[in-house]
Structure 1
Amino acid sequence: MLCYVLLKFHLKSQYNIAFRKFEDVDFNRFGDVLSAYKNAIQHEKQLSALKEKFDFGLLQNKFKNESCPLRNLTLMDEKSTTALLSYPASGNSWTRHLIEQLSGISTCAPSNRKRGCIVFKMHRHTPEVLKRFDNAIIIIRNPLYSSKSFFHFKYGKQKDKPLSNRTAIERHKGYADPSLFFSSKWTNHVTKGLLKWRNSYIGWLNVFKRKGMILVYEHMQQNLVEDMTRIVRYLKIPVTPRDFWCAFVNQEGKKHRIPENKTVTKVSNIFTAKQKRTALKYVCEVSRVARDLGIDLDISQWTDLTETPNTTLCL
């Protein structure tokens, strides 16, 4: 029983979504067995308590007829040292919205240095910028989709306004002209963007190692209640069951881009085979760094990265 609890605690960390095979475990990583055992027991108690507290079926039965207005946001008394990190267009604004609705506390953009924000949004990965943060939530998304979404952000038109005159919300909701995806702008965007994607995640993983928490964007889309529970636990947010339910009901943020109905800009049409191979290469490099740090990064849904179906993305 002790070995099982220790093993589960070691593998099912804040980062992890999937378990490893038993024979792949390096027991030397446990360190002090007694300390690991105590942490494992505490982890299991907290996780079980939260799962019971935020059981979706129970919340739905109890609060489905409740009114859920958006929360009025306040500031914390103390200064936060938690960063919210991602490559652009990977769900950072959405996660900020969820955290604010769960906690009732404001999040901050990099330009806003005021005290009292619960997390600080960040896209940069230089050590100088990151040194003021002790913890981090790292959001990762399939680079093919984040590249496409970021291109819309950069070049999307809105109400016939010049690009330079768009508001922040308009920049998030606009769409680039389809012809731009077959121009040198798109080619340069992909070449530079994929390398930045790789360098950013490798940098963040190496800085925060096991002190942070990883959210996989595609996993959040399909398992939002589970990932909201992990956010609550990681940030130690005192959330009532009603607040949790209302955050789920109000999950859509103001900056959500309405899905487009254009076949021409589907991922399968706008990336060359070479660009996909480069993306897969960088994804596997990030995955190996995560694995070396003892972090299981579940990218099994990113099947668009390969032309061969039913294959393991990274060995």
Structure 2
Amino acid sequence: MEEGYQLAKLKCGINFAPALGLPPVALLSCPGSGNTWLRHLIELMTGIYTGSVYQDKVLYQGGFLGEFDEWNSGRVVAVKTHTRSKIHLQRFSSVILLIRNPYGAIASEVNRRLGGHTFQMQWTKELAESEEFSTTVVQVMNYWERIIHNVFENYMGPVLVIHYEDIKQQPEEMLKRIVNFLNMNVDQERLFCIKQELSGNFKRELTVADRKVQFEFVKGQNQNITERIMMVNKLLLDRGYPQVVPYDL
């Protein structure tokens, strides 16, 4: 049994593609949307490293070896970016737009800014009343709304919309969609890799109690989040894409 497991695990290796072998594909999201986790899953599913425009040393040291590759090297299967400008987006041949319910994205970004990539902050009354918390809520909500609008207003190439919550519920199905969008063949054996290493090194695990506290704190900032989600949903539906998934309490 152990020998079979080790043999299967060998098939989960990740490598670079040949130089200039792949078109530049943007893995675009608002900060806090689970971009790093999706990179981990795409790497497992394709066997090819992902890249980034940020060159984050912590992520590189954590195993994302494509982090310091040039975005257009052709050696990585997708490139992490949060940049929404028209000029930036037009550099890419296609875009995978990762959307997370903004309550979850805001909470995740608060944790990252105040605690780092993996540390789970203690959500206290003092945190909720801090200027840094209020500023983060406003900034992320504005960015979340604008980045979705910008893709459909400024980018004319192929776009695949993937919802973070759908990945949590149906990881294999969502990854198959991504692989097909990348014009690659689905390797059924690599589904084993997903099952064995679903979480990766940088995904926080929250309890139901954590999510409820974070939801109430974010909601208390009065940013009209429900109304803004409805506006984005209309934009998505008008273009044939699935709506934002409700926040899971």
> Fold-level match, TM-score > 0.5?
yes
Q: Percent identity?
A: 21
SS in 2 for 1:172: coil
Distance verdict in 2 for CA 1:185–1:287, change over 3 Å: same
* CA offsets 1:35-61 (integer angstroms, 9 cap, x no match): xxxxxxxxxxxxxxxxxxxxxxxxxxx
* Distance apart, 1:65 and its partner CA: 9.2
Q: RMSD between aligned alpha carbons?
A: 2.6
Within the candidate set 91, 101, 123, 1:132 is matched to 91
1:295 corresponds to which residue?
240
Give the unaligned 5+ runs of structure 1: 1-62, 157-170, 305-315
8 Å contact from structure 1 (residues 195, 282) kept in 2: no
Cα distance between partner residues in 2 of 1:129 and 1:280: 29
1:83 corresponds to which residue?
26
Cα distance between partner residues in 2 of 1:263 and 1:119: 32
* Distance apart, 1:274 and its partner CA: 5.8
Cα distance between partner residues in 2 of 1:64 and 1:298: 39
Cα distance between partner residues in 2 of 1:286 and 1:209: 19
Cα distance between partner residues in 2 of 1:263 and 1:134: 39
Cα distance between partner residues in 1 of 2:139 and 2:22: 35
Cα distance between partner residues in 1 of 2:129 and 2:93: 42
8 Å contact from structure 1 (residues 181, 265) kept in 2: no
Q: Higher helix share goes to which structure?
A: 1
8 Å contact from structure 1 (residues 173, 258) kept in 2: no
Listed as ranges, the matches of 1:268-279 within 5 Å are: 268-273=215-220, 275=222, 278-279=224-225
Amino acid at match of 1:152: N
Give the unaligned 5+ runs of structure 2: 55-67
* Distance apart, 1:139 and its partner CA: 0.6
Larger radius of gyration: 1
Cα distance between partner residues in 2 of 1:274 and 1:180: 12
Distance verdict in 2 for CA 1:272–1:300, change over 3 Å: closer
Listed as ranges, the matches of 1:281-292 within 5 Å are: 281-292=227-238
* CA offsets 1:190-240 (integer angstroms, 9 cap, x no match): 122211110011111333467111111111111112111111211122343
Distance verdict in 2 for CA 1:83–1:180, change over 3 Å: same
Paired residues in the alignment total 226
- Residue 187 (str. 1) matches residue 130 (str. 2): no
Distance verdict in 2 for CA 1:84–1:301, change over 3 Å: same
Cα distance between partner residues in 2 of 1:262 and 1:247: 27
Give the TM-score normalised by structure 1: 0.64
